[in-house]
Amino acid sequence: MFQKIAAFYENHIKHLLFPKDDLSDLAADNLHVRKITRAGKDIRNKCIPLKKRVQAASHLGLLAYTGGSGEASQAGHYVGDLINLLLIPDLSDHEKVTVLQSLSGICYGNSNTQKQAKELNLYGLLLSYLHTKEVNPLPDSHESIKLKFWTCYLLNILCCNNIPVIKMLNHDESLQRNLEILAHKGWYGWPNNYAQVLLYLLGYHFPKTDL
């Protein structure tokens, strides 16, 4: 999924952000950081429309993912602001997905931002997205399913090489049931069924092996 995003960035966005004009690597890096800072300021700016703040969140995640560990750490300063966006009552499922995509780009392979996410209780919010069926008996909409898929993907990132988080999630009694339901959904277009991968990571299921 993110390989496709990265390819799109290389082909359609990078030349707009960083014109080929004899910039040194240092200058390019500084420009990247400035773009991150600008996006972060827009996310924090409550005076602009919510749609613009969500767009800035998307931009921030893409910059963090494509820029490397240093840029991801810089973008990590805004993890709390992204979580605050998710707490806005008027935020649609589609907009929540955009913010989760941003958090995925920032937390991917970066232990510092993953630690921030834990300290800011992002996990509790993500689990609430997976448990919505318990409080809302209506069938899931397309956007609701997409939100749960991205929740599973982000939880996979946050669980990777993180035993304390895995143990913490194991204390949620209804998580296994909700993941099993999602694992039977059509994960078409995804490189993996991330609900099933989570079931493996958390020790609820075990991968089948050929004897």
Domain positions in the chain are: 1-110, 121-204
pLDDT digits 0-9 by tens, 104-119 = 999 998 888 988 898 8
Q: Are 72 and 106 in contact (CB under 8 A)?
A: yes
Average pLDDT of the segment spanning 16-39:
67
Residue 135 has a pLDDT of 46
**pLDDT category of residue 7 using cuts at 50, 70 and 90:** low
**pLDDT category of residue 140 using cuts at 50, 70 and 90:** low
Residue 109 has a pLDDT of 83
Q: Exposed (0-12), middle (13-18) or buried (19+): which is 203, by Cβ within 10 Å?
A: exposed
**pLDDT category of residue 134 using cuts at 50, 70 and 90:** very low
Write the single-letter amino acid at 31. Answer: L
Angle at 103 (CA atoms; ends 98, 107), nearest 5 degrees: 155
Instruction: Flag whether pLDDT at 126 surpasses 60.
Output: yes
DSSP state string for 89-102:
TT--HHHHHHHHHH
Q: Are 179 and 130 in contact (CB under 8 A)?
A: yes
**pLDDT category of residue 180 using cuts at 50, 70 and 90:** very high
- Which of residues 172 and 78 earns the better pLDDT score? 78
The pLDDT > 90 percentage for the chain reads 54
Instruction: Flag whether pLDDT at 83 surpasses 90.
Output: yes
Average pLDDT of the segment spanning 181-206:
90
Residue 45 has a pLDDT of 96
Report how far residue 45's alpha carbon sits from residue 47's, in angstroms, rounded to the nearest whole number. 5
